[in-house]
Amino acid sequence: MPDSTQRVIISGAVLLLVACVCLALLVTAGVGVRAVEVALQPEPTLTRTPRARTPGAFPSPTRYSPPPVWGEGGALTPTSPGGESGSSTPAETQTPPPAEIPPEVARQMDEIEAQVIEIRGLAPLQEVPRVLLTRDQLRASLEQDLLQEYTDEEAAADALLYQALGLLPEGYDLRRLYLDLLSEEVAGFYDTDDKAMYVVQDDTFGANQRITYAHEYTHALQDQTYDIKNRLMYDDDFCQEDVERCVGLQALIEGDATLVQQLWLLRYSTDQDRRELLEMAQTYSSPTFDAAPAFIQQDFLFPYQTGAEFNQTLSDLGGWDAINAAYSDPPVSSEQVMHPDQYPEDDPTPVAIPDLLPALGEGWQKLREDTLGEWYTFLVLAYGREEAGRAAVDDARTATSGWEGDRYALYQEAGSGRVVMVLTHVWEGSRDAREFFSSMETAGRARWGKPGLVENNVLEWEAAGEAATLLNQGTTTLWVVGPDTATIRPVVEAVQAAIKAP
């Protein structure tokens, strides 16, 4: 996941879509119902000794998966309907100042805050300022922040990475996608900088705004208790150094708030709230989200859905005490979130890529180096741009479940703009490596056709202006994509030599 992308947003931004997801979970007696059962019963205290962690020890990808966690003065993160390239421009029109909160709406907010405090069991340390925004004001804020935080260069590098990974077509405008999607989906957010609550008010303070307020006020309690930005080190600067760590934090924070949101819906929503949410679930449409690439749709929901499941697992073990303890020892990877039984012991294995500039020659520069993580490795297999090459979701989960660590690097040649991407994985066992190798071969066949067999467990493609090599060596796999075989072969040899070195 690109570091410039996913971590531009920090602290909450509930999506309209998530309200529908929560409602669906409740209707199907899923996570939300289980959460209520756990919360209503006394639970044993789960104790855990926090382990020392070095910030930035396991950096991660550059993926502007701006799906879900925002803040920083407004927010930032994912997508737009079209696929053409182009950059967004600042809003030219002046927007009116935020509206004053009507007394009745303020009363409802007070009531929801008290209910969330009762559900979550965290005591507030201070009042939280509130701001109502129109959707036009929200978009203007998002556009300003997005332009400041997510540059044309960062967006272009992310698009090149996603293209090399087989997730995006050439020339996709990520920046516009993110702006359009957030403008369409965000119903409110908590800002970790000014410690304020922002609620998007359309016509009324209805069910969606109320459930959003419950979610976002949970973020305010989390921030006051755990100091999201400074103590948990969850902001743009830290997350650009270690994206996988922030994937884990994001899932903990958002999943926690999603459980509270579900509990609030079950305990305190009115008949009118439920009627409105049911109507929304039946009629709601999200043109931008629906038109977004499949992997971005999934990535957008990951912190809410998989994060809620992770928090629910903790709650099953020890109620809110177990979730509270996790803030002292947060998950450090998407693997731990996807496999709660591997938390907190199974930390990622550091993976190194040698200096490949000598193998590439003059004129090349490194654009990115980071960790992709199990979640994005799964997305590559299950939600690639070529549908014919996608693995079934269950098969993709199986093929990536043995993830132990990875590292990728993205290079570009000045002048020509040609790109080389290198991705090496370490797996728990040789069987796990072979499963991933097999799934990647299927994806490669859909993308480039029949491969050539160079030697046992080494495949090569060259077609449609691209070349690729896929290699399996024991518990390690290597995938290199570039403009032609002559360019990438020295790169493959350099990485192979480093793998064989003691």
pLDDT in tens, the chain (502 residues): 554 333 333 333 444 555 555 554 444 333 333 333 333 333 333 333 333 332 222 222 222 233 233 232 232 222 222 333 333 333 344 445 666 888 999 999 999 999 999 999 999 999 999 988 888 887 887 777 776 778 888 899 999 999 999 999 999 999 889 888 877 777 788 888 889 998 887 667 889 889 999 999 999 999 999 999 999 999 878 888 888 999 999 999 999 999 999 999 999 999 999 999 888 888 888 899 999 999 999 999 999 999 999 999 999 999 999 999 999 999 999 999 999 999 999 999 999 999 999 999 999 999 999 999 999 999 999 999 999 999 999 999 999 999 999 999 999 999 999 999 999 999 999 999 999 999 999 999 999 999 998 888 999 999 989 999 999 999 999 999 999 999 999 999 999 999 876 5
Q: How far apart are CA 359 and CA 480, in angstroms?
A: 13
Task: Please indicate, yes or no, whether residues 380 and 417 belong to a single structural domain of this protein.
Answer: yes
Task: Please indicate, yes or no, whether residues 384 and 324 belong to a single structural domain of this protein.
Answer: no
Query: Which CATH number do you get for residue 380?
Result: 3.40.1000.70
Task: Please indicate, yes or no, whether residues 338 and 361 belong to a single structural domain of this protein.
Answer: no
407: enclosing H helix or E strand: strand 403-413
Total residue count of the chain as it appears in this document: 502
Whether 39 is in a domain gets the answer yes
161: enclosing H helix or E strand: helix 152-164
Task: Please indicate, yes or no, whether residues 215 and 289 belong to a single structural domain of this protein.
Answer: yes
Q: 307, 342, 377 — which closes off a domain?
A: 342
Task: Please indicate, yes or no, whether residues 151 and 23 belong to a single structural domain of this protein.
Answer: yes
Among residues 105, 260, 131, the alpha carbon closest in space to that of 194 is found at 131
Model pTM? 0.84
Residue 45, domain extent: 3-82+96-342
Q: Which residue has the tokens 């260069």?
A: 153
Task: Please indicate, yes or no, whether residues 323 and 392 belong to a single structural domain of this protein.
Answer: no
Whether 55 is in a domain gets the answer yes
Q: 315, 342, 369 — which closes off a domain?
A: 342
Task: Please indicate, yes or no, whether residues 336 and 438 belong to a single structural domain of this protein.
Answer: no
Whether 348 is in a domain gets the answer no
Cis peptide before 451 (omega within 30 of 0): no
Give me the phi and psi of 406, to 5 degrees please. -160, 170
Task: Please indicate, yes or no, whether residues 383 and 421 belong to a single structural domain of this protein.
Answer: yes
Q: What one-letter code names the amino acid at 312?
A: Q
Task: Please indicate, yes or no, whether residues 133 and 29 belong to a single structural domain of this protein.
Answer: yes
